[in-house]
Structure 1
Amino acid sequence: MRKVSLKANGAKLAVAGMAAALVVLTGGCTSVSDHRGYLIDQALIDSVQPGIDNRMSVEKTLGRPTFESQFGQKDWYYVSQTVKTPPFRRARTAEQTVMRVRFDPSGNVAGVDKRGIEQVASISPDGHTTPTLGRHRSLLEDLFGNIGAVGAGGGSGAAPQGPGPNGS
């Protein structure tokens, strides 16, 4: 009777040890979440009023923008991203908010627009090479293709003839 209880306790300890090892091993397999850019505070955003605020008051309320438009009217953009990195994978944008503050020509706020990740264009490049014009050559042709061709074009030493920058 005594031997059976020791075996049962040993089995319980083995199961508990395996469970603890499983928890430790899978604990490192969680994705890492990271915030980039502007920290959005909805109360501050709501306090910016079109027709009332100007560039200076927006800068005091929201801070300097992430970037300013380079063409057309000088709109201000505040970009906020939440990026998640799963284990052994590339980082992916989970959430993105772009807030645009539009100004009229006199510098007063004309409007505040907010866009999410649904406005981001998703592109998928086709392949790993860029198509170019010209001949497709193998590695060996690139390495040994010029053997015997050096000096073969202008071996006579005469001046160039015909149309061109140095010819007639």
Structure 2
Amino acid sequence: MFAKAFHYKSVLRGAVFAAAGLALAACSSVYRKHGYVPTPGQLAEVVPGIDTRDSVAETIGVPTSTGVLNDSGYYYVATRFRHYGAAAPEPVARDLVAISFDAQGVVEGIRRYSLEDGKVVPLERRVTSSGVEDSTFLRQLLGNLGNFGPSQILNTE
């Protein structure tokens, strides 16, 4: 009888320790990297004043994004996020390499930025809202009853 009780206690104790170990493992940080930034060795191969857009893309790869105005530059962005439990992921490292071009498409300059250079810049898309309110079809139809006159229906002006 004593041996049986001792066996149950040791199994219960082992289960409690296993559950505690799994709980601790679930709360550990997970790091993920998104994007691509060329290495300093690859950037050394790009020569300002000589290389063009095509030669840069061939040498170090296609950029993450390009400049909006007149294809002003190439931007390579890599971000490292820390995921911890149920909390929202937070950026812990961000590297950005900006390659600017002149009007002829020749490399003008290469700049490298990181989180230490300033505050975190959120990389998000801006989307224009549709302006449609959350209402039913019938409510939208009845809401437009007073917005037109007989001349619009009969096409007389």
TM-score class normalised by the smaller sequence: 0.5 to 0.7
Offset, 1:17: 4.3
- The DSSP-based 3-state class of the residue aligned with 1:43 is helix
Query: Which of 1 and 2 has greater Rg?
Result: 1
Q: Gaps spanning 5+ residues in structure 2: where?
A: 122-157
Q: For residue 36 of structure 2, what is the aligned residue in structure 1?
A: 38
Residues 102, 110 of structure 1: 8 Å contact kept: yes
Distance (whole Å) between structure 1 residues aligned to residue 61 and residue 89 of structure 2: 28
- Partner in structure 2 of residue 55 of structure 1: 53
Greater relative CO (CA pairs within 8 A, separation 6+): 2
More off after superposition, 90-99 vs 6-15: 6-15
Query: How many matched pairs?
Result: 121
Correspondence for 1:69: 67
The residue number in structure 2 matching 1:87 is: 85
Aligned partners of 1:40 and 1:80 also within 8 Å: no
Calculate percent identity across the aligned residue pairs: 23
1:21-32 correspondence to structure 2 within 5 Å: 21-32=19-30
Choose between structure 1 and 2: higher strand proportion. 2
Matches of 2:86 and 2:71, distance apart in 1: 43
State the match for 2:154 in structure 1: none
Residue pairs, 1:9-158, within 5 angstroms: 15-71=13-69, 74-121=72-119
- Structure 1 residues 12, 46: CA separation in 2 closer, same or farther (over 3 Å shift)? farther
More helix by share: 2
Give the alignment's TM-score, normalised by structure 1.
Answer: 0.58
TM-score (norm 2): 0.62
